Amino acid sequence: MIRSLLLISLYLTTFFVKSQNVDSLWKVVNNVKNHDTIRLATLYDLAWVFVYDNPDSTYTIAEMQRELAQQTKNKKWEAKAYNAMGAALQIRSAYPKAVEHYQKGMKIFEQLGDKSNMAGALGNIGSIYIELQKFDVALDYQLKCLKLVQEMGNLEGVASSLNNTCVIYTNMKQFDKALLYGEQAVEMYQHLKDYHGQASGYLNLGSVYSAMNKYSEAILNLNKALKIAVANEITTLVTKCKLDLAAVYLKTEDWLKVIVLASQAEREAKEQEDLDSHLAAVKYLASAYNKKQNHKEAYKYGSLTMELTDSLNKMKNESEIARMEAQFYYEKKAEADSLRNAEQQSMKDALIFAKEAQIEKDRIQKIALYGGILLMLISGGVMYNRFRFIRKQKNIIEAKNKETEEQKIIIEEKQKEILSSISYAKRLQEAILPPRHEIAQHLPDSFILYKPKDIVAGDFYWMEAVQGKVMIAAADCTGHGVPGAMVSVVCSNALNRAVNEFNVSEPGKVLDKTRELVVETFERSETDVKDGMDISLCLFDLKNKSLQWAGANNPLWIARKGEILQFKPDKQAIGKVDNPSGYTTHNIALEINDCVYIFTDGYADQFGGPSGKKFKYHQLVELMKSISVLPLQQQQAKLEKEFNNWKGPLEQVDDICVIGIKI
């Protein structure tokens, strides 16, 4: 089985009570004066205290919780008890009984409509089938889990499910699908700013490319994972990345890099007391030194490989004995409740088959290992006189490590400077946006839905009070992110000058003057700059219920009596264009309960939905029509919810700015 990194944090919704006194929790449980729900919740917390160190205690406490939940007819906590019992059995490797308990809990969660815990149970069952190497069954459960978390809009859950589906497809050798799901997982983790998830995603992509023998792509993705893990001090992932890189360099016969990476991983694994990673590191070192004909070091790491293999086999045997004892205990207990069904027998057969296959694999590996070590010992006696060459190689490695560390520090400092500059740019951009309380003062019945794609945005909103009237605009500058933000500062400044310095208030003439000022600014550049903005600009006279409006590529919509009145803009941007003409000012009489909407194109251009297509304006018209009767704040909430549902796991493609004003 290809050992990619499987994320289970989505599924085991644990409550770790580290600092709280266990005795005090038992007092809460044993006090019958406490409400049943409090006692059930406390039993659940207690069960998870012991889940990794003493899963038998977890099972016993969860069983107490289940009995109390059944007595009090509390279905929710009964299902949670089955979930905790399943986790204890899974950690004990009693897989058939674990599946049985997860399914009992899932059945109740389904009756209660609890999709979150249903997804957790599906994911846990899927992870069991991965351990049993029944990947087609694991995939079925994982895709069901993915569908549920997508329906709930649980972005963290979607990311974890995508990542785990990548692992399953990798083991099924369906590499194109593995890459598709793995890349989507990385994009989702980047959107969530989840650095642990990003590192694990790149690590899994590296495993896919390595299995495809595309070593340059594997190294690229593994280095990305390593960089993120180091920057965020995720020590276990740092070690895992180095081991996977060493494995790739073994295939490409770059022995020096294998030695550097495996040596670092060995030190880290010893500190973490991670026997599996320690064994992998010394195996890589023994192989690399043997290929380089450094037989003294090859002998050293070959001997250490034997020691660690024996230790690991001893631990596995002890674990297997404990697993068999747990299986016997749980099966005997289950006999009192019901007969085992056909699925349990099938699971047990799969477990036995997987165990026998693993024992045979270990036997063959041990024979091969001892034979290889014997050859290394014979060669070592002949080549021992090359000891001085070892020192020279060691000095080369240390010098390269020092150089790498210095480069890493320089890169990290540059990254900090870039992030600091972008954060400062955000503060500057926020300074050009009118405060929300000022907008509320002049337009009390209004909302602004503003969602930048990146830290800074090309979209912005603008407002100015002019002679008892209120001017407000939604603008979309060329690009997004830092370039868009820079253009937005130029365009916002031009709007301010047109109104305040040149005393222009008619919307069409304001846009004429703004274009003139923007073009004048960009013409100072030695290069031909064609950046600019699209804008929808309103001038409200609320006393007389009238509106003047002008638009550059961005329209105006008015919801009136269940219909949407659409006013088309002039088809020319604010900026340098061929054959420019003056912008048109539209005079519009307003009615009570009219809803006026101005917006940029980001909402309609968002990809998503069942087919991954654009939302488009015709859907936006229908959406505006349906929500126009609601209070403004509810309209904003509906717009945001519909956007997130449509986008789903996909990345936001552009900045979004939607403004609504009710008359």
Q: What is the pLDDT of residues 284-319, one digit of tens each?
A: 998 989 888 888 888 888 888 888 777 766 554 444
In order, the DSSP letters of 545-581 are TEEEEEEEB--EEEEETTEEEEEPPBS--BSS-SS--
Q: What is the mean pLDDT of the chain?
A: 82
| Measured CA distances, 276 to 38, 243, 266, 311 (Å) | 41, 11, 10, 10
494 Cβ neighbours under 8 A, 6+ residues apart? 513, 514, 517, 518, 521, 574
- Residue 127, pLDDT > 90, answer no
Q: Which uninterrupted H or E stretch holds 535?
A: strand 533-541
- Residue 334, pLDDT > 50, answer no
- Reading the block at residue 18, the tokens are 């580290």
Q: What is the pLDDT of residues 409-444, one digit of tens each?
A: 677 767 777 666 676 667 777 778 999 899 999 999
Classify residue 539 by its DSSP letter: E
**What is the per-residue pLDDT for 479?**
64
Q: Please count the residues of the chain.
A: 663
**What is the per-residue pLDDT for 122?**
87
- Rounded Cα distance between 182 and 296, Å, is 42
Q: Give one word for 566, left, alpha or beta, with left for phi > 0 and alpha for psi -120 to 50.
A: beta
Q: Using DSSP, how many helices (H) and how many strands (E) does the chain show?
A: 22, 12
Mean pLDDT in residue range 491-512: 93
Give the number of other Cβ atoms within 10 Å of residue 409's Cβ: 10
Q: What percent of the chain has pLDDT over 90?
A: 44
Binning pLDDT at 50, 70 and 90, where does residue 375 land? low
Q: Do residues 355 and 316 make contact, with C-beta atoms less than 8 angstroms apart?
A: no
- Reading the block at residue 127, the tokens are 């992870």
**What is the per-residue pLDDT for 486?**
81
- Rounded Cα distance between 146 and 5, Å, is 17
* Residue in 291, 300, 304, 277 with CA at minimum distance from that of residue 249: 291
- Rounded Cα distance between 58 and 54, Å, is 7
- Rounded Cα distance between 478 and 59, Å, is 60
Torsion, Cα 422 423 428 434, to 10 degrees, reads: 120
Query: Collapsing DSSP states into helix, strand and coil, what is residue 585?
Result: coil
| One-letter amino acid of 399 | A
- Rounded Cα distance between 98 and 456, Å, is 48
**What is the per-residue pLDDT for 217?**
95
- Rounded Cα distance between 453 and 190, Å, is 12
Binning pLDDT at 50, 70 and 90, where does residue 13 land? very low
Binning pLDDT at 50, 70 and 90, where does residue 393 land? low
Q: What is the pLDDT of residues 583-595, one digit of tens each?
A: 999 999 999 999 9
Q: Do residues 156 and 194 make contact, with C-beta atoms less than 8 angstroms apart?
A: yes
- Rounded Cα distance between 659 and 472, Å, is 9
Q: What is the pLDDT of residues 144-203, one digit of tens each?
A: 888 888 888 888 888 888 988 999 999 999 999 999 999 999 999 999 999 989 999 999
- Residue 320, pLDDT > 50, answer no
- Residue 131, pLDDT > 50, answer yes
Q: Do residues 254 and 242 make contact, with C-beta atoms less than 8 angstroms apart?
A: no
- Residue 250, pLDDT > 80, answer yes
- Rounded Cα distance between 87 and 407, Å, is 44
**What is the per-residue pLDDT for 319?**
45
**What is the per-residue pLDDT for 495?**
94
Q: Could you report how far apart the first and last alpha carbons of the chain are, in Å? A: 65
Distance, C-alpha 47 to centroid of its chain: 29
Binning pLDDT at 50, 70 and 90, where does residue 104 land? very high
337 or 566, which is more confident:
566
Q: Which uninterrupted H or E stretch holds 180?
A: helix 175-192
- Residue 235, pLDDT > 90, answer no
Binning pLDDT at 50, 70 and 90, where does residue 230 land? very high
Q: Among the ranges 25-34, 304-313, 634-643, which has the highest mean pLDDT value?
A: 634-643
Least confident segment among 117-121, 325-329, 383-387, 642-646: 325-329
Give the number of other Cβ atoms within 10 Å of residue 597's Cβ: 21
- Residue 367, pLDDT > 90, answer no
Mean pLDDT in residue range 97-105: 90
**What is the per-residue pLDDT for 248?**
94
Tell me the three-class secondary structure of 111-128, residue by residue.
Answer: HHCCHHHHHHHHHHHHHH
Give the number of other Cβ atoms within 10 Å of residue 70's Cβ: 13
Mean pLDDT in residue range 459-466: 93
Q: What is the pLDDT of residues 544-554, one digit of tens each?
A: 999 999 999 99
Q: Do residues 167 and 185 make contact, with C-beta atoms less than 8 angstroms apart?
A: no
Q: What is the pLDDT of residues 468-478, one digit of tens each?
A: 899 999 999 88
| Measured CA distances, 134 to 137, 140, 205, 351, 493 (Å) | 6, 10, 21, 10, 63
| One-letter amino acid of 151 | E
Mean pLDDT in residue range 337-359: 50
Q: What is the pLDDT of residues 255-285, one digit of tens each?
A: 999 999 999 999 998 888 778 888 888 899 9
